[in-house]
Amino acid sequence: MGKYILSLFLTFTVLACHAQFNDTTHYYVGFNSSGSINRTQDGSSYLLNNALKFSEKNKRSILNFNNNWIYGKSNSSLTNNDFTTSLDFDLYRTFPNFYYWGLATYTTSYSLKIKDQLLTGVGIAYYLVNKKNAMFNISDGFLYDKSNLMLNDTTRDNYHTYRNSFRILFRFVIKDIVVIDGSDFIQNSVQYKNDYIFRSTTNLSVKLRKWLSFTTSLNYNRMNRTRAENTLLTYGLTAEKYF
């Protein structure tokens, strides 16, 4: 009797609320959960990705509170236990398409060998394109980084540094059906040449109904000081409601 392979891959996305800001919409609460399970005769693995977001907007500012937790195992060995929480704001006080931003982020990541990391800073941003169906934004600023890292299984690295943080943010809508959006960060230490953080997120959504979309997301992260990186691909269904 030949080999028998049983494979199960499950992906789901539940979004409790997705709001688009307009003249009467000032708050947003969203919850997203996705995951995968793979089982064969050689073993099993699973991955769960959960995100919670709250936003508040008025004419001159936007406040965002984000939480993300990724947990996974492969053949009973831990692969991911990564948690990030962040609070950021944008202030529109001067020229059109130009604004100031502030950020505070706390991260602990098993896959990136981060025991604790606190990033805080401020900067400026500008919309090169800001239309209904197309948006392209660049920003730059400075962050203070206080970290407790694992350089290897036995060596801890407690240090702090200042970083330049450059970001690209984009969103494109094709015929109100296909949405491509994402962000890319490069955060270089101003003190240590080979110390940088790179983060990239790209999302693709296709509307199936007015309130339902098929969504796939690709995330890549690298912490060069620990020589660690991770790549996460998720896909599923996104339910939306505007209020």
227: left (phi over 0), alpha (psi -120 to 50) or beta: left
Share of the chain above pLDDT 70, in %: 88
Domain 27-239 sits in CATH at 2.40.160.40
pLDDT in tens, 99-136: 999 999 999 999 999 999 999 999 999 999 999 899 99
* Whole-angstrom distance, CA of residue 137 vs CA of residue 165: 14
Across 67-86, average pLDDT: 92
Asked if pLDDT for residue 180 goes beyond 80, the answer is: yes
Across 198-205, average pLDDT: 93
SS3 of 17, please? coil
Q: Which residues contact 156 (CB under 8 A, 6 or more apart)?
A: 115, 148, 149, 150
What residue ranges do the domains of the chain occupy? 27-239
As given in the structure block, the two tokens for residue 238 are 């996104």
Q: Is the four-CA dihedral 27, 142, 168, 149 of positive or negative sign?
A: negative
As given in the structure block, the two tokens for residue 60 are 């001159």
Across 180-207, average pLDDT: 94
* Whole-angstrom distance, CA of residue 62 vs CA of residue 92: 9
Across 125-149, average pLDDT: 95
Between 43 and 199, residue with greater pLDDT? 199
Mean pLDDT is lowest, of 123-127, 140-144, 154-158, for: 154-158
